[in-house]
Structure 1
């Protein structure tokens, strides 16, 4: 019990230090106040033109589509992650050795580092853009269920972290994982639903998304936000969908733990 309390105090300290460190560069976060709304405005123009005289497309009406893209943009601010890049840099330079010798292993450190970083993002990216979406664009950004949306976003937060950390672990074999990171970012951008709702993909690809990590990062929490979920002809209550998302996070964590243990056997502190 004392060990758990100590571990939590250490993690809280990491989050606090990360928040204070990045707050010195908060103007960098403020760039999102421009980029996010501009991207959202472009999406509004594109989808308004695409719909034309159509009432619905892919079973989604235009107001819901606009809310969906507003949700994906805001969720992206809360789940953004750099664990893969950071871990790759530590392995490449040999600095991972200093974390390997600490009582708290690097994955826990990185997770709470992300917590501190995203707390800053919540204040300087999420909240300003939320207000812009509501008052400038007139979009209804009230979630269908605040409770289920909050849970789904937290699960997406963990899913993004564990997937990215797994990508970063490939550095223990490849040293330089930029190629894998770049390829994954491209695939994730397409299949997470951030660029286009997954409802517009072929049926077989929609079904395949249940066995891939991508939809759990953006599409699923965005659909929970709108209050309606459908994919591959499957329609389930929101609470069931969040349960599936939680299961997916547990499976991803288990896979990450397996890869982490294998990676530790590869570690040789090259470059230290």
Structure 2
């Protein structure tokens, strides 16, 4: 146990030091990430103004007021920053194809363990550096947050973000390890990224989908990468539904953890290394 903890700390520390080289990129990138929100603010302002002119009373779209809609897009930026795993699946598949993955077969370092710590280091450095631009953006947009979480809802929101990170990691790791069975997974990865962008709620709140598609989309795990954390923060998921949502998110995370472990175990049994 002590040796495992020491190895984990060493990998995490070295990974953090490596990622600190990109601290300037992370700060600028965090600011640029929110630029599309400007377009969303003008777009939804025009939509709600037109609807307000055609009716009386409070105008909502799928239960979202104008302020809620803009706040939702701001929150999905945070969700996607947690669940985004650029290059993870393609990197695993590339190492399998090139033969470089055999370093994890001959050295006493578990690949999933190593990559998880490496990604955790990336997120720690990213949010540590990007805290200032995030704070500036949310301060300037504070008027869109009519209500903020209270008490234990904050804990539920943080838990949903952490599980979004783990779910995305094990999901993409499992996709990458398809490389043990297929020489090329880039097409499958493209399809996954396309579906993820749409069905995770990053493009729009999935509450806006007509029935039965809204129910179908909420049955798959992609909603937990962006939509669900934002919905928790905005109070769209409360009470029993919130507890059930967190439980289902945890179940999906565990399921993809098991799948990734299974793919690694069975993939390495049939693997033949070529190249460097």
TM-score for both structures, normalised by structure 2: 0.88
**Equivalent-residue separation in structure 1 for 2:79 and 2:110 (angstroms):** 28
**Equivalent-residue separation in structure 1 for 2:2 and 2:217 (angstroms):** 38
Aligned residue number for residue 14 of structure 1: 11
What SS class does the counterpart of residue 212 from structure 2 fall into?
helix
Aligned residue number for residue 55 of structure 2: none
Query: Which of structures 1 and 2 has the larger relative contact order (alpha carbons within 8 angstroms, sep 6+)?
Result: 2
1:121 has 2:126 as partner: yes
**Equivalent-residue separation in structure 2 for 1:46 and 1:89 (angstroms):** 40
Are the equivalent residues in 2 in contact too, given 1:15–1:114 (CA < 8 A)?
no
Aligned residue number for residue 162 of structure 1: 170
Are the equivalent residues in 1 in contact too, given 2:76–2:230 (CA < 8 A)?
yes
| Deviation at residue 236 of structure 1 after TM alignment | 4.4
**Equivalent-residue separation in structure 2 for 1:142 and 1:133 (angstroms):** 16
Aligned residue number for residue 198 of structure 2: 190
**Equivalent-residue separation in structure 2 for 1:28 and 1:74 (angstroms):** 17
1:107 has 2:117 as partner: no
User: Aligned pair count?
Assistant: 264
Q: Which has the larger radius of gyration?
A: 2
Matches within 5 A, 1:19-30: 19-30=16-27
Aligned residue number for residue 228 of structure 1: 236
Are the equivalent residues in 2 in contact too, given 1:26–1:124 (CA < 8 A)?
yes
**Equivalent-residue separation in structure 2 for 1:49 and 1:143 (angstroms):** 28
| Deviation at residue 262 of structure 1 after TM alignment | 2.4
Which digits, 9 at most, give the CA deviation of each residue in 1:3-26, with x for residues without a partner?
Answer: x33223212221221111111122
1:40 has 2:37 as partner: yes
Please report the RMSD computed on the Cα atoms of aligned residues, expressed in angstroms.
2.0
Matches within 5 A, 1:1-272: 4-52=1-49, 53-54=51-52, 55-82=59-86, 83-125=88-130, 127-138=131-142, 139-140=144-145, 142-144=148-150, 145-229=153-237, 236-272=240-276
> Kindly tell me: are residues 100 and 57 of structure 1, through their superposed partners in 2, closer, same or farther at Cα, counting changes over 3 Å?
same
Deviation larger for 175-184 or 137-146? 137-146
Deviation larger for 110-119 or 132-141? 132-141
What SS class does the counterpart of residue 268 from structure 1 fall into?
coil
**Equivalent-residue separation in structure 2 for 1:211 and 1:258 (angstroms):** 23
**Equivalent-residue separation in structure 1 for 2:2 and 2:213 (angstroms):** 44
Deviation larger for 72-81 or 102-111? 72-81
Are the equivalent residues in 1 in contact too, given 2:174–2:256 (CA < 8 A)?
no
**Equivalent-residue separation in structure 2 for 1:265 and 1:204 (angstroms):** 42
Are the equivalent residues in 2 in contact too, given 1:36–1:129 (CA < 8 A)?
no
Q: Runs of 5+ in structure 2 lacking a partner?
A: 53-58
| Deviation at residue 137 of structure 1 after TM alignment | 2.7
| Deviation at residue 40 of structure 1 after TM alignment | 1.8
Which digits, 9 at most, give the CA deviation of each residue in 1:185-230, with x for residues without a partner?
Answer: 1110000001111111132222223432211111111111212229
What SS class does the counterpart of residue 204 from structure 2 fall into?
coil
Deviation larger for 110-119 or 257-266? 257-266
**Equivalent-residue separation in structure 2 for 1:5 and 1:209 (angstroms):** 43
